[in-house]
Structure 1
Amino acid sequence: MRKILLASSTAFLLCLSSAQAQERKLVISVYGFAQDAFKTILYDPFEAKCGCKVVVETGNSVERLAKLEANKNAPVIDMAVVATPDALAASRANLIEPIDVSKLTNYDKLYDVAKDPIGGHLSVGYTFYATSIVYRSDKVTINSWNDLFSKELAGRVAFPNVTTNQGPPTLYMIGKAMGQNTPDLKAPIEKVAEHKDDFVTFYVRSSQLTQLMQQDEIWAAPIGRFAWEGFAKMNLPIKWATPKEGQTGGMNVMILTKGAKNKELAYQFMDFWLSTEIQTKLAEKLIDSPANKEVKLDPKIADNLTYGEETAKSLDLQPADAILDNRESWISQWNAKVGQ
């Protein structure tokens, strides 16, 4: 009887331990792309390391921020990844809290631009990308953002719509080239309006561009570096411009939900994602450009990413508050002067 009771107690404790392990759950909110790769490289290895369950929720930024807002009094998400303006919007809505960077062992490995992107340690950058101009080097030479309006390129340029991720950064750099670098983007929008008949299209998806380039319909287009691979594979003389005014871009960041139920797991997961090993594996699959400066990549891989300290330092990123505070005005101006 004693042995039976002992065995029963042991079984009960094992069941209790198993139940407790199952209760260790981290809920994350992320973009929907490349989830199979993220599962293999990031989620599964972290689950094995922490003995916990990673629950992944995906969607676009608007949907995911709305869910954070709807559950602000009883958070169901522990951490999320968003673009810097969305992180600032979440901060203004009191949905996130400062990140204790002392709990991130890989924090000092990050490029400076990724350490505190919106201030107050409210976010940590995990990937960024450059925005510049891809062009047919056998047809034209591009040395400035103003070259998008040259006579040689009239009728040969695809320009990003203002509602896309590449629209405002492109306008920002055009304004800089014009010497009219103000957050309202009034001058560059007016310049695009003056030349709108010279553009083949105001694109909304970068996937449109490789076909247009292949068919010789366009010779140049502003793009994010993440879209470069498709052009690099084409059997055409195509280059990535390094305009004299510089390159801009964007950054995705990690944020910690205010009142997160599993805060310590969130910190462990953030740190794991920022590690040299994980950042290297994601970069090698061309998923994310690394924010960790210790990542070393083969030149063939690096050429398809925003990579290296010199590149990181050279990025002229729009301030998150300028984007957030002016976005509706940009769209209004664009619709009035350029059209849909």
Structure 2
Amino acid sequence: MKNALKIRTGLLTLIAPLTLALSGGAHAQTRTLTVSTFGLNQALFDKNVTVPFEAKCGCKLVYEVGNTSDRLAKLDARRANPNIDLALLSSAAALEASQKGLLDVINPAKLSNYSRLYDFAKDPIGGHYAVGYTVYSVGLVYRTDKVRNFKSWQDLWRPDLKGRIALPNITTTQGPLTLMMANAAWNGPDADFATGLQKLAAVKGNIVTLYNQSAQLASLFAQEEIWAAPAPRFVWGNLQKTGLPLRWLVPAEGQAADVNVMTLVKGSKNNDLAYQLMDFWLSKDVQTNLANDLADSPANKTVLISADKGNLLTYGVRQIRSLKFLSPAQQLKQRTDWVEFWNKNVAR
């Protein structure tokens, strides 16, 4: 009996540290996936993406947040030893990153939800370096009690709007999109949008301000400084909260649009987890939840949401059919010239 007790005690002595070692080893094996992102609506993304994905994968999501130019610079500086696995970027920024050799090609066969995306989200920059996870439009918002017969982008040039409009600065995401639509409105045949630039320079007298953040629009309308402005769809909900008689217009020429994309960072040691997160994010359930929370307009075309939610997003047949996309390659090629002209002839 004493010998059996000794044997049992000895086994427990051996098992205890082994159990601790195994539990410690399991804890040490928890993997981390680092995502570079814009930082907008982060609480909603944590609710609908971070928390459920961590539970699903048994891993940890960490976010590096910042503006696009800073995040691109960091990706470039760390290219030899990247700390980012997945980067969320604008389409133009993703193209720039791919041209600098910072991204891996995405294999669509590894994404079960790829076929459910709108065509414009499947390969938005070419070469399969990116996949769109959300789409947004830039249309026109105006005061229905102040402006009559507002139908076209050309209406921003009307004399009755002198000193009553705001335009996005050319260095914002909406700036080049507004330029594209100005060029289209005035039938510019030029690939460099020279006609649109000249027209924007000519409308200076109507401009109250050049906004750098779309959040400024709510206060500009509320303070009755402006009666009309190009606006990204994702601010429409906040604009309605002003209580003013505002209308969202899909102009005769259509709406400008872009997609924000997911990209795989070259040299990442967590590509398998990155693919899992991408596919999870693109799924109908996650895209529906994000749309219902008004965090993002869906890139998954199978998403179905109520009309009241859809009216606040780039969603539905009419909205999607109206979209005009600016080529990321054209944007990168012309960006320096556009900014130079703008600073000399529009911003001054």
What's the counterpart of residue 185 of structure 1? 193
What's the counterpart of residue 332 of structure 2? 324
What's the counterpart of residue 315 of structure 2? 307
Cα shift readout 1:65-95 (whole Å, capped 9, x = no counterpart): 1111111112211111000000000000000
State the distance in 2 between where 1:212 and 1:77 align.
38
- Give the alignment's Cα RMSD to 1 decimal: 1.5
Deviates more, 1:155-164 or 1:79-88: 155-164
What's the counterpart of residue 142 of structure 1? 150
State the distance in 2 between where 1:76 and 1:83 align.
20
C-alpha displacement at 1:59, in angstroms? Answer: 0.7
State the distance in 2 between where 1:305 and 1:212 align.
21
Q: Structure 1 residue 4 and structure 2 residue 7: aligned?
A: no
C-alpha displacement at 1:147, in angstroms? Answer: 0.9
State the distance in 2 between where 1:325 and 1:190 align.
19
What's the counterpart of residue 296 of structure 1? 304
What's the counterpart of residue 91 of structure 2? 84
C-alpha displacement at 1:113, in angstroms? Answer: 1.0
The one-letter amino acid paired with 1:201 is T
The one-letter amino acid paired with 1:200 is V
Distance 1:325 1:67, change over 3 A: same
**Which among 47, 51, 63 is matched to residue 58 of structure 2?**
51
C-alpha displacement at 1:4, in angstroms? Answer: 2.7
C-alpha displacement at 1:268, in angstroms? Answer: 0.3
The one-letter amino acid paired with 1:4 is T
What's the counterpart of residue 4 of structure 2? none
Distance 1:160 1:17, change over 3 A: closer
What's the counterpart of residue 69 of structure 2? 62
What's the counterpart of residue 239 of structure 1? 247
Q: Structure 1 residue 115 and structure 2 residue 110: aligned?
A: no
State the distance in 1 between where 2:332 and 2:188 align.
19
Aligned length: 338
What's the counterpart of residue 251 of structure 1? 259
What's the counterpart of residue 173 of structure 2? 165
What's the counterpart of residue 260 of structure 1? 268
What's the counterpart of residue 101 of structure 2? 94
State the distance in 2 between where 1:144 and 1:120 align.
35
- Does structure 2 conserve the Cα–Cα contact (< 8 Å) formed by 1:289 and 1:305? yes
- Does structure 1 conserve the Cα–Cα contact (< 8 Å) formed by 2:250 and 2:322? no
**Which among 6, 31, 46 is matched to residue 39 of structure 1?**
46
Distance 1:99 1:310, change over 3 A: farther
- Does structure 1 conserve the Cα–Cα contact (< 8 Å) formed by 2:255 and 2:322? yes
* TM-score (norm: length of structure 1): 0.95
* TM-score (norm: length of structure 2): 0.93
State the distance in 2 between where 1:255 and 1:309 align.
27
